[in-house]
Structure 1
Amino acid sequence: MSAKNEPALCVESGEKIVVETYDCFLNQIESEKTAYHAIDWNQINPATGPVYVEGAEPGDILKVEIKEIELDQEGTMVT
C-alpha cells in the first residue's frame, strides 16, 4: 500500500467518529484579497481519509450515517 493510501484513521465497526475537513480549496483562500492566480488548482477538492474499518474486507458493503454537519462562519467561492 502506498503512503498516499494509508488510513487517516482506524475504527471498529459501529464506532462513532468526528471528522473535520478542509474546504474545497484546501483552505488556500484566507480572505477576499487572495488572488485567483495564487490558488494551486492541483490542491483543490481534498478528500478526508481513508478510514480503515477493522474487520471490513474488499467487497463488503459499509453503512455510514452522517449524524450532524456543522458549518464554519463563512464560505468561499471563486467566479
Structure 2
Amino acid sequence: MTYKISSDSYIYSFSKDNQPVLSVKSGDEVEFETMDCFSNQIQTPEDKLEFLDWDRINPATGPIYVGGAEPGDILKVTIKKIEIGDKGVVATGKDLG
C-alpha cells in the first residue's frame, strides 16, 4: 500500500508522547511532504530573520507507526525519489550562517 503524509502533520521534537499520524506495515510506501528548516516562514526576499518564530525551526513530517516494530529494532528505509521545491533559503547574519 502507498500513503502520503502532508506537511501539515509535523513535529518539532521527538518524544514517545507524539501520536502517530499514520500506521503502516513493513513493505508499505510512504511519501512525505516536508517544509524547509524555517517551517516555510521565509517566502520572499523581504521576509527577515528578525521576524522568524524561532520555536518553529527544523520541522519533521510525521511521526508514523510501523506495525510489528519493537524498541531496539533496526528499520531499513529506501528513499526512492526526492523532489525539491522551486526556491531555497540561506540565512546569514550576526553569529549565524
TM-score of the superposed pair, with normalisation by structure 1: 0.89
Shift of residue 62, structure 1, vs aligned partner = 0.5
- Summarize deviations over 1:10-31 as a string: whole Å, max 9, x none: 1111101110001100010110
More strand by proportion, 1 or 2? 2
Q: How does 1:1-79 map to 2 (within 5 A)?
A: 2=17, 5-79=18-92
Runs of 4+ aligned structure 1 residues displaced above 2 Å come to: none
* RMSD of aligned Cα (Å): 1.1
| Unpaired segments ≥5 residues, structure 1 | none
Q: Distance between the aligned counterparts of 1:36 and 1:23, measured in 2?
A: 14
Unaligned runs of at least 5 residues, structure 2: 1-15, 93-97
Q: Which has the higher helix share?
A: 1
Provide the aligned length of Structure 1 versus Structure 2: 77
Q: Match for 1:26: what amino acid?
A: S
Q: What's the CA shift for 1:8?
A: 2.0
Aligned residue for 2:65, secondary structure, equals: strand
Mapped to 2, the partners of 1:78 and 1:9 lie a distance apart of 33
